[in-house]
Structure 1
Amino acid sequence: MKSKKLLIIGFIAVVAVAATLFFLTQKKDTKITDGGAFEISFNKQGTLAFLSAQNNDTLSVIDIEVADNNQRRARGLMYRKSLPADAGMLFVFDEEEIQGFWMKNTYIPLDMLFVNADNEIITIHTNTAPLKEWNYASTRPALYVVEVNAGYCAQKQITEGDKIIFELSSH
């Protein structure tokens, strides 16, 4: 009798694991990598331009994914193994205040740009360390944060004082 119960429990467990793996791999934006981590695909939701503080010239344009609620902001770029070269994530907050970010569960080194309500870049943290719980904070109140691949700001000569403008795609 015990062996029948164990066999049934084992069968149910195998079916549950198989069903979970099947449904996870059916999502078009998520796949399981060799290391068992989830690879989350970039989902373009708009574009963002960096503008020079001196003359308003466009320094660069990127595709953006938007984190505009608590759940999306909390997840950010965590668990991702890559980010396209000319892409980033725009975090939109409800209130302009000191913002702080960390890199826990974030595998990609990033440049973090903190932006105030006037769309001015007020703080840049370059080449943030992956998988660390260090706090990267804005030096003044920020309404937005833009994350791009590490080295992007240096490559495109984006500095504090420059501005951003963005346009979200219609769904």
Structure 2
Amino acid sequence: MDFFRKHFINILVGILILVTLASVLPRFFSNDESLPQQVAVSNEIKEYIPPFEHEGNLSFYRKDSTLIKTFSIEFARTERETELGLMYRKSMNENEGMLFVFHDEKPRSFWMKNTYIPLDIIYLNKDKQIVSIAKNAEPLSETSRPSEGEAMYVLEINGGLSDKLGLMKGDYMTYESLID
């Protein structure tokens, strides 16, 4: 009888350990930086749409230093921010954009996975001059949109806006950060 009782207790303790691990391990291995695509709110499922965060200002100029337009920008500096980009956004104001800042200058390529709004993807070199523009990138497309030269910065703005502003290769930008 003691033999069965001892094994029963061992089995019970093993089951309790497994149940505890099953509830704790997923939280331990999850990436806290990841953003959920859906959030449960009062028994309803609502989409998660990242809010625009005004983190800086960016201005475009013609070669002769004539101001073209100033944008409120959000930065993508970290690997996670770069991966997420403007995914899941349903709209963006005409004076807003996202600036991707890289540590080196090389050919770049972007896609539109999980991005719901058409974008103009503006590639800029280390001197902050436009090297190419991927115009009206199709929402939700996984087609690669490569730069036509080496780029250190990439600005995403609403699709069609680069034509409306007359942006061209050689135009340049300046930007300032409002955050540290």
**TM, length-normalised to structure 1:** 0.78
Please list every run of 5 or more consecutive structure 2 residues that lacks an aligned counterpart in the other structure. Answer: 1-38
Contact 2:40/2:46 (<8 A) preserved: no
1:53-104 deviation line (CA, Å, top 9, x unaligned): 2x11110000000000100000000011111110000000111111110001
Cα distance in 1 for partners of 2:74, 2:168 equals 22
Matching of residue 77 in structure 1 with residue 96 in structure 2: no
Runs (4 or more) in structure 1 with deviation over 2 Å come to 34-37
Paired position in structure 2 for 1:7: none
2:59 matched residue in structure 1: 49
Q: CA RMSD in A?
A: 1.7
In structure 2, C-alpha distance between the alignment counterparts of 1:60 and 1:161, rounded to whole Å: 15
Structure 1: distance between partners of 2:150 and 2:56: 24
Q: What is the TM-score normalised by the length of structure 2? A: 0.74
1:106 aligned residue: 115
Residue of structure 2 equivalent to 1:156: 165
**For 1:111-126, what aligned pairs fall within 5 Å after superposition?**
111-126=120-135
CA distance in structure 2 between the partners assigned to 1:115 and 1:52 by the alignment: 14
Q: Tell me which residue corresponds to 2:153.
A: 144
Identity of aligned residues (%): 35
Code of the aligned partner of 2:88: Y
After the TM superposition, which residues 126-141 of structure 1 pair with which residues of structure 2 at under 5 Å, given as runs?
126-141=135-150
Structure 1 unmatched ranges of 5 or more: 1-19, 26-33
Larger Rg computed on CA atoms: 2
Structure number with the higher strand fraction is 2
Partner secondary structure for residue 104 of structure 2 = strand
